[in-house]
């Protein structure tokens, strides 16, 4: 059962995404604006994960991790991301008056964009990737995700819905589980996490 869940986590994300879409449509008249944005962000993350899967993000990971492509098994990473996505995208829907939970989803949209910039830069600086225009996940990471984040930040800031300490909560609420998911994903491929961070920082700097 555990292996089944890990292997099909992306499909489960999609199933939950369809449920979120139905919820969004059915509850649209009464949903607060920020809750609608969280729903849209969950749908965008689902689309982003499919874009990565369909267009070869495994190959990019293999180059950055400096392991053979066959050694890259993103199933555990996808499952960890699935749990983070559920946490970040669904929990705010149950606590509509806790704004910093919704803000966490908005931060995730920006983070995906910077993560892809870093991954592409790593591959190019190590000479393991051709200087093409497209990399897996780029379309959603550079369009719908940051656009939703920008509007979400505008919505929150213009209405003065959060204090600085609430923004800190939002950041910690995202980065703690996300870093844990990254650690699990990297270790599952037999790569030392400290060495991974060292290689990543070195290659990003060029």
Q: Which residue has the higher pLDDT, 199 or 105?
A: 105
Cβ atoms of 81 and 49 within 8 Å: the answer is yes
Query: What pLDDT score was predicted for residue 187?
Result: 78
> What letters, b where the CB count within 10 A reaches 16 and e where it falls short, cover 103-122?
bbbbbbbbbbbeebeebbbb
Query: Quick one: pLDDT band at residue 128, thresholds 50, 70, 90?
Result: low
Q: How many helices (H) and strands (E) does the chain have?
A: 10, 0
What is the spatial distance between Cα 74 and Cα 127, in angstroms, rounded to a whole number?
23
Query: What pLDDT score was predicted for residue 40?
Result: 97
C-alpha closest to that of 40 among 186, 196, 146: 146
> What is the DSSP secondary structure assignment for residue 189, as one 8-state letter?
T
What is the spatial distance between Cα 168 and Cα 170, in angstroms, rounded to a whole number?
5
What is the spatial distance between Cα 28 and Cα 138, in angstroms, rounded to a whole number?
29
Percentage of the chain modeled with pLDDT above 90: 45
Whether the predicted pLDDT of 94 surpasses 60: yes
Query: Quick one: pLDDT band at residue 173, thresholds 50, 70, 90?
Result: very high
What is the spatial distance between Cα 92 and Cα 16, in angstroms, rounded to a whole number?
15
pTM: 0.83
What is the spatial distance between Cα 119 and Cα 167, in angstroms, rounded to a whole number?
26
Q: Which of 38-52, 59-73, 120-134 ranks highest by mean pLDDT? A: 38-52
Cβ atoms of 120 and 55 within 8 Å: the answer is no
Which pair of tokens denotes residue 144? 């719908």
What is the spatial distance between Cα 185 and Cα 205, in angstroms, rounded to a whole number?
23
Cβ atoms of 156 and 106 within 8 Å: the answer is yes
What is the spatial distance between Cα 197 and Cα 202, in angstroms, rounded to a whole number?
8
What is the spatial distance between Cα 38 and Cα 61, in angstroms, rounded to a whole number?
28
Query: Quick one: pLDDT band at residue 126, thresholds 50, 70, 90?
Result: low
Query: What pLDDT score was predicted for residue 60?
Result: 47
Whether the predicted pLDDT of 195 surpasses 70: yes
């Amino acid at each position: 059962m555990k292996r089944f869940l890990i292997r099909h986590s992306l499909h489960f994300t999609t199933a939950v995404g369809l449920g979120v879409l139905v919820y969004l449509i059915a509850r649209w008249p009464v949903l607060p604006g920020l809750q609608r944005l969280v729903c849209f962000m969950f749908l965008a993350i689902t689309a982003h994960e499919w874009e990565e899967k369909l267009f070869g993000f495994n190959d990019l990971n293999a180059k950055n991790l400096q392991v053979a492509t066959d050694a890259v098994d993103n199933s555990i990473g996808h499952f960890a991301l699935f749990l983070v996505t559920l946490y970040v995208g669904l929990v705010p829907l149950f606590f509509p008056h806790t704004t910093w939970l919704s803000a966490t989803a908005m931060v995730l949209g920006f983070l995906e964009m910077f993560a892809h910039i870093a991954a592409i830069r790593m591959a190019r600086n190590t000479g393991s990737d051709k200087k093409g225009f497209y990399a897996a996940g780029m379309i959603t990471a550079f369009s719908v995700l940051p656009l939703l984040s920008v509007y979400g930040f505008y919505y929150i800031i213009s209405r003065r819905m959060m204090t600085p300490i609430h923004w800190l909560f939002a950041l910690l609420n995202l980065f703690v589980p996300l870093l844990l998911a990254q650690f699990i994903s990297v270790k599952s491929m037999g790569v030392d996490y400290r060495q991974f961070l060292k290689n990543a920082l070195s290659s990003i700097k060029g």
